[in-house]
Each structure stands twice: as structure tokens, then as C-alpha cells.
């Protein structure tokens, strides 16, 4: 079956407002930025997001108010922003329902989803603050659609009487989006390098969209069954999206765009012009109180400016690549044998 679609059509058909949604990749590795940009342009919202270590992709959705509930362990563009700025600001300002699990437990929750488990018993996190403090109270949870009534529960281990284990919920994923190196029209995928949790979410989700660097024939991808990572039956849509993980990296294909990630780090400090003015005034007052010199940034780029430039200012991912420019993208290409771009 040919599952090849345009990015616009795949997102329009398979991403719905209110979805419990998960993305593949890891912080600045193989994040499905092209698909996230299309979601932002189309306007889907009210997501219940589950994410292992995430980056600017989730930060943009959060900053645009598209995420109602976010279940996560860590969100940052590693090496550029220690904690993603819009993610942090929305939590501090109470603009999002946020729940925190440890990274190992979250990875296991997604794996449990692929196995169809009703809940997951673990010893991890037990006795820690992650168990004692809930980001979303039990009362609030009961008012939120697609959110489990409990963050966790201590239960008896039936095989070792007297031992308590931590039972955590398993996500019921509506939509998964992953970016891979190669995919065929029937949905079979090859993931090169670390697979992270991508296979688990592709198996677990009701709807799975795959964006790929290279679209290869069904016959070609069948030459080496041991090389394939995701089988076609898991996939609903295949989208040919070269540089679909930009500005994050895609192993064996291109490196992170250092300039783009630094630009986002600076821009995402301020939600908009009004927020920039308020923060700059606070910084100036703080410096004055300490008797320190302060030079206010002149007309700083904001989060809204960044999105207007790189997301809403283009009609699709092809136009985005034209805007980035072929010479700039070429410099990101991985040098064979090195595993990274030589700049």
C-alpha cells in the first residue's frame, strides 16, 4: 500500500486537536521539526503531550499555547538552553498543566504502551520527591480529558509479599510522529543510530506519521530485513521531508544548525515585545539596585518574531528550506568517517 502523502495532508488527516501526542527523537537529535512547523501553521491545539527528553519542538508548541497538558522529564536544547525558556515560563506562570516523571520511567511507560500493558509496575522513583509531589493534583486530573486520575500508586508485589512497587499509568497514544533516515512507500522505516523510543511510539499509537530524509522503494528496503526498524503496518502516512529534523541533527545526514539553535535560545527568552519590555525593565532595575551598569538590548528578537520568521513566514517545509538556503544546509552535512559536519 502506498502511504506517501504531503506533509500538509498527513498533518491535516492524522493530527487532531485534543490528541494525546508523542514525538520521536531526543533533545537535539532527530526531532520532527518539519511536522511541528506544519502543526503550528494549521492550528491544531489542546494537546496532551507525552515526551522523554525534548527540545525546541515542544517548546514552540507550548509557547504558542497549543499544549493543555505536558507529561515530561526534561525539555531543553542541550548545549544551547539548559531549560527551554517557554516551557519554563509557562510552568512558572501557571499556563500549562505539567507532570514530571523520571526519564527512565517515562521511557518504560512508552515501551509499556507498545506492549499494550494496562499499567506499569516499577521500583524506580520509589521514595523520591517525584512520588511525593504531584504537578497535577488528583482533583485537577479528574477534570482533564485523556489524563489519568492518578500520577502513580503504591501497590503490593504479588510475588514478594510485603514489598511495595510504584504503579504508573501507560499512555494511550493517539498520534506519534517520528523522523527517520529512510522510509519506503508502504511505511517500512530504517533508523540509523540510536532509535530512542521511536519504535515503541510507532507501535503504540493509533496514528503514526513518518517523515524521512530519503524515500526509497519497497523493493530496496526489503533487501536487508535486519536493517529495518519500524514495520509498515505501524505507519499511516509517509512524508518525504529532507532536513525534516532541522535545526536538530539527523545521524549520518547532517549536524545541528548551531546558528539556528543559538538564535532560538535568545529569541525564546521573550514571549513578545511587551514581555521583552517588562523583562528588560526588571533587569535594569535589578542592576541599578546593585549599582551595576546595564545596557538594554536594542529591539531584541522575540519568540513571536522567531515563529513569524521561520514558521508562519513560509507556506510549507519546502519554502522553509529555500529560506534557510542551500549553502547553509550544505555546510551541515555530515562528513563520512567523522560523523559530524566539519565547519
Bridge partners (DSSP) of residue 215 are: 183
Which helix (H) or strand (E) element contains residue 169? strand 164-169
Q: What was the pLDDT predicted at 268?
A: 98
The rounded distance, in Å, linking the Cα atoms of 104 and 303 is: 31
**What distance in Å separates the CA atoms of residue 75 and residue 99, rounded to the nearest whole number?**
12
Q: Identify the pLDDT of residue 337.
A: 83
Residues of the chain with pLDDT under 70: 343
CA angle 330, 180, 147 (to 5 degrees): 125
Between the alpha carbon of residue 262 and those of residues 102, 179, 257, 259, 276, the distances in Å are 27, 22, 9, 5, 18
pLDDT of residue 342: 77
| DSSP three-state, residue 164 | strand
> What are the residues facing 168 on neighbouring strands?
120
Q: Specify the fold of 1-118+172-268+301-338.
A: Glutaconate Coenzyme A-transferase (3.40.1080)
Q: 291 in the Ramachandran plot: left (φ > 0), alpha (ψ -120 to 50) or beta?
A: left
Alpha helices per DSSP H over 93-182: 103-115, 129-132, 138-141
Q: What integer pLDDT is reported at residue 339 of this predicted model?
A: 78
Query: Measured over all CA atoms, what is the biggest interatomic distance in the chain, rounded to whole angstroms?
Result: 71
CA distances from 329 to 104, 211, 259, 320, 326 (A): 34, 18, 12, 11, 5
Distance of alpha carbon 112 from alpha carbon 172, whole angstroms: 10
What are the sequence ranges of the domains in the chain? 1-118+172-268+301-338
50 and 58 Cβ atoms separated by less than 8 Å: no
Cα distances from 221 to residues 152, 184, 197, 227, 236, in angstroms, run 42, 7, 22, 8, 17
pLDDT of residue 340: 82
User: Which tens digits make up the pLDDT trace of 99-117?
Assistant: 999 999 999 999 999 999 9
Give the per-residue pLDDT at 83: 97
Amino acid at each position: 500500500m502506498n502511504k506517501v502523502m504531503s506533509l500538509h495532508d498527513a498533518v491535516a488527516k492524522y493530527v487532531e486537536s485534543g490528541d494525546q501526542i508523542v514525538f520521536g527523537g531526543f533533545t537535539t537529535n532527530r526531532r520532527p521539526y518539519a511536522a511541528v512547523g506544519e502543526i503550528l501553521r494549521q492550528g491544531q491545539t489542546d494537546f496532551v503531550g507525552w515526551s522523554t527528553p525534548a527540545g525546541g519542538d515542544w517548546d514552540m508548541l507550548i509557547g504558542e499555547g497549543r499544549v493543555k497538558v505536558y507529561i515530561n522529564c526534561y525539555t531543553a536544547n542541550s548545549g544551547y538552553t539548559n531549560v527551554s525558556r517557554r516551557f519554563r515560563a509557562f510552568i512558572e506562570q501557571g499556563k500549562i498543566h505539567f507532570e514530571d516523571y523520571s526519564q527512565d520511567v517515562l521511557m518504560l511507560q512508552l515501551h509499556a504502551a507498545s506492549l499494550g500493558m494496562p499499567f506499569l509496575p516499577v521500583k524506580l522513583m520509589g521514595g523520591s520527591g517525584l512520588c511525593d509531589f504531584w504537578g497535577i493534583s488528583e482533583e485537577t486530573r479528574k477534570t482533564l480529558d485523556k489524563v489519568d486520575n492518578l500520577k502513580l500508586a503504591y501497590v503490593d508485589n504479588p510475588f514478594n509479599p510485603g514489598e511495595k512497587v510504584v504503579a504508573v499509568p501507560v499512555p494511550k497514544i493517539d498520534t506519534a510522529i517520528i523522523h527517520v533516515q529512510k522510509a519506503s512507500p508502504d511505511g517500512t522505516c530504517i533508523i540509523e543510530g540510536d532509535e530512542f523510543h521511536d519504535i515503541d511510539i510507532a507501535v503504540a499509537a493509533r496514528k503514526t506519521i513518518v517523515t524521512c530524509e530519503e524515500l526509497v522503494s519497497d523493493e530496496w528496503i526489503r533487501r536487508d530485513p535486519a536493517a529495518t526498524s519500524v514495520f509498515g503496518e505501524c505507519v499511516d502516512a509517509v512524508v518525504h521531508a529532507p532536513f525534516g529534523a532541522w535545526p536538530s541533527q539527523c545521524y549520518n545526514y547532517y549536524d545541528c544548525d548551531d546558528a539556528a539553535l543559538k538564535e532560538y535560545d535568545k529569541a525564546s527568552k521573550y514571549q513578545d515585545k511587551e514581555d521583552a519590555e517588562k523583562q528588560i525593565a526588571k533587569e535594569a532595575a535589578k542592576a541599578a539596585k546593585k549599582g551595576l551598569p546595564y545596557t538594554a538590548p536594542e529591539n531584541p528578537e522575540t519568540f513571536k518574531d522567531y515563529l513569524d520568521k521561520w514558521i508562519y513566514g513560509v507556506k510549507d517545509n519546502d519554502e522553509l528550506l529555500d529560506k534557510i538556503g542551500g549553502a547553509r544546509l550544505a555546510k551541515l552535512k555530515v562528513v563520512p568517517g567523522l560523523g559530524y559536519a566539519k565547519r
